[in-house]
Amino acid sequence: MDLENICKQIETVAKKAGQFIREERLKITDDDIELKGKASLVTYVDKNAEKLIVDELTQILPEAGFITEEGTADSDGETLKWVIDPLDGTTNFIHGIFPHSVSIALMKNDQPIVGVVYEVGQDELFAAWQGGGAWLNGKPISVSKNKKHEDVLLATGFPYYNFEMLNEYLELLEFFMMETRGMRRMGSAAVDMAYVACGRFDGFFEHALHAWDIAAGIIILQEAGGKVCDFKGGDNYLFGKEVVASNENYFPAFFSKVNELLG
């Protein structure tokens, strides 16, 4: 497969979906908001953006299956699968704040090989394909080189439905708040991963995630020179609902602390 060409086509789809999201943002009312679960919101914008994306991607690779957040299409054991979050950061979107993003990944045998994250607010398109490096609006990006706690800025996502590790999470946040330059909670895991890839953040961790939240970000981060694992140091980060991601220099110290409290 020509992964670079596929990536370019995905970029076009992501920006088309992003334009739809941008146009609908000021039209949302309380009547348009549905509750999928505790603090998990969805609107017609999420659903229609996903339909748009699925229709477009089907034209690119008709043989590929799908893993989608809103259930527009399902996978049935295909070697190739699209993994789609049509609107990562729905709560931000509903409240009229950024970031919120479109996240699209192509997986082969459950490993991301192409990824695109389009952050709608700043019109920033992050993209990568296996062996092709990582890019932001057409320019190459790479992770930061910081390696000490006192030099890093970190990102995380706060638990909003699974609170089983809340005490450990708060202890970890306390450590990082005191020992680093600070913590950020942006509200879009896809953007968090992309920001680590381009060096804005030095590391990111979160639990209770889904594959569509991070699949695109994983390949972008890896192609930018970053490292990723689960809380135990293994490779069950895509479907294991937990991720640790950082630049290579900071990874030993960062992972060690996350593993100590959450692993």
Given this model, what pLDDT does residue 34 score? 86
Given this model, what pLDDT does residue 72 score? 85
Given this model, what pLDDT does residue 94 score? 93
Neighbours of 178 (CB within 10 A): 8
Quickly state the pLDDT bin for 263 (edges 50, 70, 90). Answer: very high
22: its two tokens: 């941008």
Quickly state the pLDDT bin for 109 (edges 50, 70, 90). Answer: very high
Higher pLDDT, 74 or 130: 130
Q: At what angle do helices 251-262 and 166-179 cross, to 10 degrees?
A: 150
In the predicted model, is pLDDT for residue 39 greater than 70? no
Q: What is the pLDDT of residues 227-240, one digit of tens each?
A: 999 999 999 999 99
**Helix, coil or strand: residue 176:** helix
> Which residue shows structure tokens 């080189």?
145
| Cα distance between residue 248 and residue 263, in whole Å | 19
| Cα distance between residue 107 and residue 216, in whole Å | 9
Listed residue (101, 118, 110, 46) closest to 82, CA to CA: 110
For the chain, what are the domain ranges?
Answer: 3-141, 149-262
Q: At what angle do helices 189-197 and 211-223 cross, to 10 degrees?
A: 0
Cis peptide before 99 (omega within 30 of 0): yes
Quickly state the pLDDT bin for 37 (edges 50, 70, 90). Answer: low
Terminal-to-terminal C-alpha distance of the chain: 37
Q: What is the pLDDT averaged over residues 142-155?
A: 98
Q: What is the model's pTM?
A: 0.95
Residue 80: phi and psi, rounded to 5, are -100, 135
Q: What is the pLDDT of residues 96-105, one digit of tens each?
A: 999 999 999 9
Task: Report the run of H or E that residue 102 belongs to, with start and end.
Answer: strand 101-108
Least confident of 46-55, 68-77, 136-145: 68-77
Instruction: Quote the mean pLDDT of the chain.
Output: 95
The CATH class for the domain spanning 149-262 reads: alpha beta
74: its two tokens: 């399902």
Q: What is the pLDDT of residues 82-95, one digit of tens each?
A: 999 999 999 999 99
In the predicted model, is pLDDT for residue 38 greater than 70? no
Given this model, what pLDDT does residue 191 score? 98
Given this model, what pLDDT does residue 73 score? 79
- Residues of the chain with pLDDT > 70, as a percent, come to 98
| Burial (CB count <10 Å: 0-12, 13-18, 19+), residue 65 | middle
Q: What is the pLDDT of residues 60-80, one digit of tens each?
A: 999 999 999 888 877 767 899
CATH number of 3-141: 3.30.540.10
In the predicted model, is pLDDT for residue 224 greater than 90? yes
Residues 217 and 88 sit within 8 Å (Cβ to Cβ): no
Quickly state the pLDDT bin for 36 (edges 50, 70, 90). Answer: confident
Given this model, what pLDDT does residue 95 score? 93
> Which residue shows structure tokens 């296996």?
130
